[in-house]
Amino acid sequence: MAESKLEIQMLHDRLLVKAVPDKSERRSSAGLVIPDTVKLATRLAWGEVRGAGTGARHVKTGDRVLFDPEEQGEVELNGERYVILRERDVHAIANEAPERGTGLYL
């Protein structure tokens, strides 16, 4: 299919994010796997940024971002599913040269 000429741009501080599957299971401190149905705190998720609006100050394409996956806008592009975030809703980022790293790694 010839490349459509309509290139996508994010507006304001919006981010186009590809969710990264979460291998970790919830275990209580006693090691028991906690099924998701148990309403604990909100489980945050990591995703990779594939596009950022001109209003995004701290996050750039290629960064991993930590966000609340519930109630986010979702769009399908060329068979891939993406989530749309606002930069202000991003809790943390992970990349190879953070400005102020925590010493913790993804």
Q: Which residues would be at the binding site for its own copies (CB under 8 A)? A: 3-12, 14, 16, 21, 24, 26, 29, 40-44, 50-51, 53-54, 58-59, 61, 64, 66, 68-79, 83-84, 87-88, 90-106
**CB of residue 35 to its own copies, shortest distance in Å:** 15
**CB of residue 74 to its own copies, shortest distance in Å:** 4
* CA angle centred on 30, ends 66 and 44, rounded to 5°: 10
- Which residue lies nearer to its own copies by CB, 32 or 104? 104
**CB of residue 32 to its own copies, shortest distance in Å:** 13
**CB of residue 72 to its own copies, shortest distance in Å:** 5
The residues, any chain, with a CB within 8 Å of residue 55's CB and separated by 6 or more, are 11, 12, 13, 14, 87
In DSSP terms, which residues pair with 52 in a beta bridge? Answer: 15
φ, ψ (nearest 5 deg) of residue 75: -140, 150
Q: Which two tokens stand for residue 66?
A: 């930590």
One-letter amino acid of 39: K
